[in-house]
Amino acid sequence: MEQIAPSQVADWACQQSLRPVLLDVREGWEVQTASAKADGLDLVHMPMQTIPARLDELDKTRPIACLCHHGGRSMQVAHFLLQHGYQVVNVAGGIHAWSAQVDPTVPVY
Q: Using CA atoms, how far apart are residues 7 and 5, in angstroms rounded to an integer?
A: 5
Of 22, 38, 48, 68, the active-site residue reads 68
Alpha helices, DSSP H, located in the chain: 9-14, 28-33, 51-54, 72-83, 94-101
Q: Using CA atoms, how far apart are residues 99 and 104, in angstroms rounded to an integer?
A: 5
Collapsed DSSP state (helix, strand, coil) of residue 4: strand
Contact status, residue 73 vs residue 30, Cβ threshold 8 Å: no
Catalytic residue at 68?
Answer: yes
Active-site residues, by number, are 68
